[in-house]
Chains A and B, each alone.
Chain A
Amino acid sequence: AQKITQTQPGMFVQEKEAVTLDCTYDTSDPSYGLFWYKQPSSGEMIFLIYQGSYDQQNATEGRYSLNFQKARKSANLVISASQLGDSAMYFCAMRVGNGQNFVFGPGTRLSVLP
């Protein structure tokens, strides 16, 4: 069965510093996609970044980058130059093969301190 683990319930980071949010996944399927979403207090889920299992390079989207270590089955999100608006819940998710289900981790609450 597919599973996503996020071991950090909460993280604090100083404004303008970089922060890494951990995500490990479990699947035996060689074809999968990994996603990160941000959920501010308003509740909406905002897509941040995607990494495919066959992608040779780590994904980057502006201040977001994904540290993809396939052998370790980890897909950590790196946020550079944190801003106060980055304070939110962050969810790692995975979709396997042609499956319809996106499996989500329990999330990490990030608080950016001024």
Chain B
Amino acid sequence: SQTIHQWPATLVQPVGSPLSLECTVEGTSNPNLYWYRQAAGRGLQLLFYSVGIGQISSEVPQNLSASRPQDRQFILSSKKLLLSDSGFYLCAWRGQPSIGEKLFFGSGTQLSVL
């Protein structure tokens, strides 16, 4: 069966520090991978998605970046965090493209930038 791992669960970082959040998927190959951000009490905003190794699409211009060094690994990074980067970050994957394929989410990372 497929599983998705996301870590860390919580993170407190000072403004200007770097960031690295990692997400890995098991039990499937060539998944579509996603990073979403959720501000407190609000909906999900798509940050990045990837359809394959090294292929990253950005939906929102910001100081964050994403990389996909391996088929089932997706990394969210920042060189210098801003206060506005605080939020709940969710990694997700989707199987072979078809209109009905749902997103499977990781457990999320609560990031607080102070």
Shortest distance in angstroms between B39's beta carbon and chain A's nearest beta carbon?
Answer: 10
Question: In this assembly, does A8 line the interface, its C-beta being within 8 Å of a C-beta of chain B?
Answer: no
Are the CB atoms of B44 and A50 closer together than 8 Å? Answer: no
Task: List the A side residues contacting B102 at CB < 8 Å.
Answer: 35, 47, 50
Mostly, the B contact residues are strand
Selected from A43, A52, A91, the residue in CB contact (under 8 A) with B100 is: A52
Task: List the A side residues contacting B44 at CB < 8 Å.
Answer: 91, 93, 104
- Which residues 59-102 of B have a CB within 8 angstroms of A? 59, 88, 90, 92, 97, 99-100, 102
Question: Which of A33, A103, A104 has the most B CB atoms < 10 Å from its CB?
Answer: A104
Question: In this assembly, does A12 line the interface, its C-beta being within 8 Å of a C-beta of chain B?
Answer: no
User: Which A residues form the contact surface with B (CB < 8 A)?
Assistant: 4, 31-33, 35, 37, 42-45, 47, 50, 52-53, 91, 93, 95, 97-98, 100-107
Are the CB atoms of A104 and B43 closer together than 8 Å? Answer: yes
Question: In this assembly, does B7 line the interface, its C-beta being within 8 Å of a C-beta of chain A?
Answer: no
Are the CB atoms of A44 and B99 closer together than 8 Å? Answer: no
A95 to B102, CA, bound (A): 9
Whose C-beta in chain B lies nearest to the C-beta of A102? B103
Are the CB atoms of A91 and B43 closer together than 8 Å? Answer: yes
10 cross-chain pairs, A with B, having the tightest CB-CB distances, nearest first: A45-B105, A104-B44, A43-B108, A106-B43, A104-B43, A33-B99, A47-B102, A100-B49, A44-B107, A107-B43
Q: Given A42-B107, A44-B105, 20 more contacts at CB 8 Å?
A: A4-B43, A31-B99, A33-B99, A35-B103, A37-B105, A43-B88, A44-B107, A44-B108, A45-B103, A45-B105, A50-B100, A52-B100, A91-B43, A93-B44, A95-B99, A100-B32, A102-B103, A103-B46, A104-B43, A104-B44
Shortest distance in angstroms between A59's beta carbon and chain B's nearest beta carbon?
Answer: 10
